[in-house]
């Protein structure tokens, strides 16, 4: 998941974060860990992209954050989905499905043109 | 909701910037620690774990920066930054900041003050329901030149019954009366109102109720009193309703109190009573006739009706009345309807708006100066801008930065201006000396504040945009290389254009001021027909309390004579006389039609009719041009003697000698005993109207003004006069004891006020323009120091240098003066109504104003130009 295709990266990263948070509130490190686990270690989220992305989504009102005390008494900023974030996730999932299906169809094409 | 959340988040980001940064730091530290822990769990040494974690992290500062960017999302964050930067820049250059703030404070303050006057006087609606529907109604006699005449009770009733464009029309008549009962008797104004009056205005009483239909038929007279009478004279008694007050000894029941906001259309009235109580002796036959035009009228238009429609309707109604009742209404075949607000404000609207325009121009001149300063400063800041450009700042960003600076300046100037305007308004109101209508409505309200904010924003853009664009248009490389560099030709052109513009504006204002001043001096020196020096006037309304009805006439004649005789006997009094309605007073004059009692003369004149004591003319210094003054007595069977003013004599008898001729008045004949000089009765600027003078004994009046010509200072006699009157009747209230000089001076107070404003603002404009010229010329000299040094080194004489530097400055001034003069010729037409005795292109005023301006500009240019001649030639050799 490292790379320079920042447009794809950004859009994709946002939807991955939203998905992660739909499973429950989580702090920044947890989000990156979870994405790594869920992608079976394929997708590594660079922190340099994660935190700006979180801030951006917060500004857009997709997620909100609060400071919580965690296991062994540490403080961490937890992020959670807002209603708008849930809607956005549903929208993005549908979009992703459509386009990935289209890409698959293109890649699986074996017939001639026309 | 989502949008709101975004905005909230952004605001939070800007406001809680440092908090957010700290939070982010903690968050990132937490992340790092977790990553290290995870790495260690996978078996790395602590050191390696930390190294790997940091590696994966990739630069905390970069993340911070990016988060910050994501957080602020541009504009708002940039703005905060711009403002901080601008404040720093302004602090760094205090001299510039102070000059700019001073200019802006004065300019915006003057504009805010003038606007709050315009707002209070012209824009603020009257404090009644549906103020736009309220109008003043006048009957008009166009042939006699009377467009705002009064109405008879009968005509009013016909109007009321037949006009459809009016929801209601009401009549009223003011009349001074004497209030007794508590302490000294005081003279107060009484207004008789028809039943429609209060419902028409829609006033809510402070206490009790207003006059209703029944009051007009009630046996016991009722009265509504003003808040100020209630507070000052009745001690704000909460149980005043039902109490009695004595007016000329007659009891009236107070039924209500109206609030002080009900000022119009009867300002100064203390008591309103039903119209049915008008005293019969006001009328020739004991009751009102159709030719007794004594009522003023107001109306409320029907919904949707326009003033024009209403006026047309009443005009055609008046035409019908004139046809039906020719003996009383001939000539009164028209009507005038004007909005109530207009009738109150009168003709100050044009003058006020003009002064508002004048202060607007002053602000523009100030803007030109600031733009020039900024252009010069822009050049000084080229390095700073070039460095910022080189470091990658966008040009729009730099323009925005500079505009923020200017906007900040002008908003601060606006805030200070708003503060200053409080005092400026007070000064202006004090200067107006009571001549401005509705000043009580002048205050700083939401309109005024909005105006100031808009004006400040506009100002910041006007003076800031061009310099900002020019400063940002600097090619970056050029300036980093050169030290100071040559100024661009465009910069000089822009500055020159600004100077030409501000000189032109200053010419406009100085010429305007010149015209006003000259006109005012003409007005002040006008021959009023009397000699105002060392004359004291004593005006009063004769006290009739306790005088039986049958004795009234005799009492009025005798009492008046007693007062005149007593005052004449005072030491220091040379002559004494009296008149019923004094010249220049705002009491309504009374005109009658006169014709020569000679079949061969078909002339007629509508003459101002006044009733005098024969000593009046001598006391006033009114010249008797022909014949004799009025006799004190005449045979019972002889016609009444009359004096004609010169204008009356001319209109009736042309060049013939009128002495001994008889003239016919509506009530009989009179014989002319003499001709007097014309007197300005209505105002110093109004040409004298034809007048006739009868002995006061033929028509005794309540009102009297006794005129005393004194040997010394007239004001010193006030005490003895008061005492003498008190000796005769301790209950006689005195309305006023005023030197005639004061009366004359007050009658032109409005002209003086506007003249002073114009002169003041003209001077300010001149000052600002001169400062601007001086600044630009001395800046040019500094820029050209080296060139001038070379010229001197090459043998140029001081005179040559002077010519070079001053010449280019004077060229700009000349161009500005030419444009300004051309503009003034057109624009001063607006002043036409304000000017007396001169045309709007009065050559003397123009010449004086232009000469003065040229002289001052020349001095302003010569100071830096002279400095240029002292440039040491060595400077030419010095490298930059």
| Contact check, Cβ <8 Å, A47/B70 | no
| SS3 category, B710 | strand
Query: For B327-356, what is each residue's pLDDT tens digit?
Result: 889 899 999 999 999 888 887 888 889 999
Q: Where are the alpha helices (DSSP H) in B473-607?
A: 476-481, 489-524, 552-568
Best CA proximity match to B679, nearest among B767, B585, B770, B546: B585
- Between CA A29 and CA A44 the distance in angstroms is 12
Query: For B507-544, what is each residue's pLDDT tens digit?
Result: 999 999 999 999 999 999 899 999 999 999 999 988 88
CA distance A99 to chain B (A): 27
Total count of domains within chain A: 1
Torsion angle (degrees, nearest 10) of CA B621, B626, B627, B632: -20
A112 within domain boundaries: no
* Percent of chain A whose predicted confidence (pLDDT) is above 90: 6
Q: Which of A46, A74, A84 sits opposite B2 (nearest CB)?
A: A84
Domain carrying residue A25: 6-106
CA distance A34 to chain B (A): 13
Max avg pLDDT among A13-17, B595-599, B697-701: B595-599
Q: What is the pTM of this model?
A: 0.73
Query: For A25-76, what is each residue's pLDDT tens digit?
Result: 888 888 988 888 888 877 777 777 888 888 888 888 889 888 888 777 778 8
Q: Is the CB of residue B414 less than 8 Å from the CB of residue B453? A: yes
Instruction: Taking residues B377-387, report their average pLDDT.
Output: 75
Best CA proximity match to B691, nearest among B608, B627, B624, B625: B608
A88 within domain boundaries: yes
Under DSSP, the state recorded for B578 is E
Best CA proximity match to B336, nearest among B356, B354, B360, B318: B318
Q: Is the CB of residue B397 less than 8 Å from the CB of residue B470? A: no
- Between CA B171 and CA B180 the distance in angstroms is 27
Query: Across chain B, what does the average pLDDT equal?
Result: 86
Determine which helix (DSSP H) or strand (DSSP E) holds B167, and give its type and residue range: strand B166-180
| Contact check, Cβ <8 Å, A60/B1 | no
- Between CA B586 and CA B522 the distance in angstroms is 23
Ordered by start, the domain boundaries in chain B are 2-73, 131-345, 535-712
Query: For B148-178, what is each residue's pLDDT tens digit?
Result: 889 999 999 999 999 999 999 999 998 888 8
Q: Got the DSSP string for A11-29?
A: HHHHHHHHHHHHT--EEHH
| Contact check, Cβ <8 Å, A33/B38 | yes
Say if residue B718's pLDDT is above 80: yes
Q: Got the DSSP string for B668-696?
A: EEEEEEEEE-----S-TTSPPPPEEEEEG
Which residue in chain B has the smallest CA separation from A59?
B6
Q: Is the CB of residue B566 less than 8 Å from the CB of residue B724? A: yes
Query: For B474-511, what is each residue's pLDDT tens digit?
Result: 665 555 544 444 444 556 788 888 899 999 999 999 99
B791 to A28, B576, B779: CA distances (angstroms): 74, 80, 18
Query: For B406-440, what is each residue's pLDDT tens digit?
Result: 889 899 999 999 999 999 898 888 888 778 888 88
Higher-confidence residue: B182 or B707?
B707
A84 within domain boundaries: yes
pLDDT at B15: 60
CA distance B36 to chain A (A): 11
Query: For B821-880, what is each residue's pLDDT tens digit?
Result: 999 999 888 888 888 889 999 999 999 999 999 999 999 898 888 888 887 777 766 654
Q: Does any CB of chain B come closer than 8 Å to the CB of residue A80?
A: no
| Contact check, Cβ <8 Å, A55/B70 | yes
Strand arrangement of the beta sheet that strand A63-69 belongs to = A26-27, A75-81, A63-69
Higher-confidence residue: B792 or B386?
B792
Place of tokens 């046809």: B323
| SS3 category, B387 | helix
As a residue count, chain B comes to: 880
Distance of CA B759 to the CA centre of its chain: 15
User: What's the burial of B439, exposed, middle or buried (CB within 10 Å: 0-12/13-18/19+)?
Assistant: middle
Q: How confident is the model at residue B284 (pLDDT cuts 50, 70, 90)?
A: low
Residues of A in contact with B24 (CB under 8 A): 51
Structure tokens at B37: 């822990």
Which residue in chain A has the smallest CA separation from B58?
A48
pLDDT at B703: 86
Best CA proximity match to B540, nearest among B739, B710, B701, B717: B701
A1 within domain boundaries: no
A70 within domain boundaries: yes
Using left for φ > 0, alpha for ψ between -120 and 50, and beta otherwise, residue B547 falls in: beta
CA distance A52 to chain B (A): 4
pLDDT at B13: 59
Say if residue A6's pLDDT is above 50: no
pLDDT at B199: 92
Say if residue B296's pLDDT is above 90: yes
Which residue in chain A has the smallest CA separation from B72?
A59
A60 within domain boundaries: yes
Computed on alpha carbons and rounded to an integer, the radius of gyration of chain A in Å comes to: 16
- Count interface pairs A-B at CB distance under 8 A: 73
């Amino acid at each position: 998941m490292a790379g320079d295709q920042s447009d794809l990266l950004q859009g994709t990263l946002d939807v991955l974060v939203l998905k992660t948070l739909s499973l429950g509130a989580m702090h920044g490190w947890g989000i990156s860990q979870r994405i790594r686990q869920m992608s079976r270690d394929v997708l590594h989220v660079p922190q340099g992209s994660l935190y700006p992305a979180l801030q951006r989504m917060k500004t857009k009102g997709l997620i909100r954050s609060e400071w919580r005390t965690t296991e062994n008494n540490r403080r961490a900023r937890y992020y959670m989905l807002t209603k708008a974030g849930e809607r956005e996730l549903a929208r993005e999932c549908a979009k992703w499905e459509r386009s990935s299906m289209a890409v698959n169809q293109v890649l699986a094409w074996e017939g001639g043109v026309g | 909701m989502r949008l709101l959340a975004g905005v909230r988040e952004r605001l939070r980001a800007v406001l809680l910037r440092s908090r957010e940064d700290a939070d982010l730091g903690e968050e990132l530290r937490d992340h790092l620690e977790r990553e290290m822990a995870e790495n260690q769990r996978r078996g790395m040494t602590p050191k390696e774990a930390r190294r790997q974690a940091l590696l994966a992290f990739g630069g905390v500062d970069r993340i911070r920066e990016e988060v910050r960017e994501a957080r602020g999302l541009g504009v708002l964050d940039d703005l905060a930054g711009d403002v901080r930067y601008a404040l720093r820049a302004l602090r760094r250059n205090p001299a510039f900041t102070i000059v700019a703030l001073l200019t802006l404070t004065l300019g915006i303050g003057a504009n805010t003050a003038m606007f709050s006057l315009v707002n209070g006087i012209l824009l603020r609606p009257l404090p009644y329901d549906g103020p736009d529907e309220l109008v003043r109604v006048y009957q008009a006699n166009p042939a006699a030149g009377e467009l705002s005449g009064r109405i008879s009770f009968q005509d009013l009733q016909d109007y009321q019954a037949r006009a459809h464009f009016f929801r209601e029309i009401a009549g009223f008549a003011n009349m001074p009366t004497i209030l007794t009962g508590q302490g000294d008797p005081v003279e107060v104004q009484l207004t008789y109102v028809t039943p429609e009056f209060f419902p028409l205005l829609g006033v809510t009483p402070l206490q009790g109720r207003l006059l209703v239909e029944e009051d007009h038929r009630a046996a016991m007279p009722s009265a509504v009193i003003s808040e100020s009478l209630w507070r000052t004279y009745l001690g704000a008694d909460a149980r005043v309703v039902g109490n009695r007050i004595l007016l000329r000894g007659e009891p009236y029941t107070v039924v209500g109190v109206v609030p002080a906001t009900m000022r119009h259309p009867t300002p100064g009235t203390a008591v309103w009573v039903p119209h049915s109580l008008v005293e019969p002796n006001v009328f020739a036959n004991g009751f009102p006739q159709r030719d007794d035009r004594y009522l003023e009228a107001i109306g409320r238009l029907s919904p949707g009706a326009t003033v024009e429609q209403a006026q047309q309707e009443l005009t055609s109604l008046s035409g019908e009345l004139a046809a039906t009742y020719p003996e009383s209404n001939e000539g009164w075949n028209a009507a005038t309807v004007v909005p109530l607000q207009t009738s109150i404000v009168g003709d100050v609207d044009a003058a006020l708006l003009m002064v508002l325009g004048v202060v607007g121009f002053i602000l523009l001149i100030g803007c030109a100066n600031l733009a020039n300063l900024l252009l010069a400063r822009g050049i000084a800041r080229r390095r700073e801008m070039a460095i910022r450009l080189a470091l990658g700042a966008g040009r729009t960003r730099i323009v925005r930065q500079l505009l923020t600076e200017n906007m900040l300046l002008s908003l601060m100037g606006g805030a200070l201006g708003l503060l200053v305007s409080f005092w400026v308004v007070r000064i202006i109101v004090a200067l107006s000396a009571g001549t401005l209508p509705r000043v009580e409505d002048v205050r700083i309200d939401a309109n005024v504040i909005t105006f100031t904010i808009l004006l400040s924003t506009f100002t910041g853009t006007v003076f800031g945009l061009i310099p900002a664009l020019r400063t940002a248009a600097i090619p970056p490389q050029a300036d980093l290389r050169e030290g100071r560099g040559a100024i661009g030709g465009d910069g000089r052109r822009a500055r020159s254009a600004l100077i030409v513009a501000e000189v032109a504006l200053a010419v406009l204002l100085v010429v305007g001021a010149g015209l006003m001043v000259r006109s005012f001096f003409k007005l002040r020196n006008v021959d009023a027909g009397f000699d105002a020096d060392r004359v004291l006037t004593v005006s009063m309304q004769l006290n009739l309390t306790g005088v039986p009805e049958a004795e009234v006439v005799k009492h009025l004649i005798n009492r008046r004579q007693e007062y005149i005789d007593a005052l004449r006997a005072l030491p220091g009094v040379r002559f004494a006389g009296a008149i019923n309605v004094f010249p220049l007073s705002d009491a309504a004059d009374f005109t009658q039609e006169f014709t020569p009692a000679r079949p061969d003369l078909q002339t007629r004149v509508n003459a101002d009719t006044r009733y005098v004591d024969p000593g009046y003319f001598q006391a006033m210094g009114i010249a008797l041009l022909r014949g004799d003054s009025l006799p004190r007595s005449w045979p019972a069977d002889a016609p009444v003697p009359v004096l004609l003013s010169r204008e009356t004599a001319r209109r009736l008898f042309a060049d013939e000698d009128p002495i001994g001729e008889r003239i016919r008045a509506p009530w009989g004949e009179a014989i002319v005993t003499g001709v007097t000089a014309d007197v300005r009765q209505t105002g110093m600027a109004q040409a004298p109207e034809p007048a006739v003078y009868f002995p006061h004994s033929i028509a005794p009046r309540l009102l009297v003004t006794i005129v005393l010509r004194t040997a010394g200072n007239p004001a010193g006699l006030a005490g003895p006069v008061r005492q003498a009157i008190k000796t005769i009747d301790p209950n006689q209230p005195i309305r006023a004891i005023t030197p005639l000089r004061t009366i004359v001076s007050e009658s032109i107070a409005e002209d003086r006020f506007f003249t002073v404003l114009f002169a003041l603002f003209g001077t300010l404009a001149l000052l600002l323009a001169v400062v601007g010229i001086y600044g630009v010329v001395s800046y040019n000299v500094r820029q050209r120091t080296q060139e001038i040094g070379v010229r001197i080194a090459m043998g140029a004489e001081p005179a040559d240098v002077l010519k070079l530097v001053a010449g280019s400055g004077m060229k700009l001034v000349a161009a500005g003066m030419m444009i300004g003069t051309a503009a003034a010729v057109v624009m001063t037409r607006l002043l036409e109504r304000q000017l007396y005795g001169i045309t709007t292109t009065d050559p003397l005023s123009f010449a004086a104003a232009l000469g003065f301006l040229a002289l001052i500009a020349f001095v302003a240019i010569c100071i830096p130009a002279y400095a240029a001649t002292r440039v040491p030639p060595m400077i030419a050799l010095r490298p930059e």
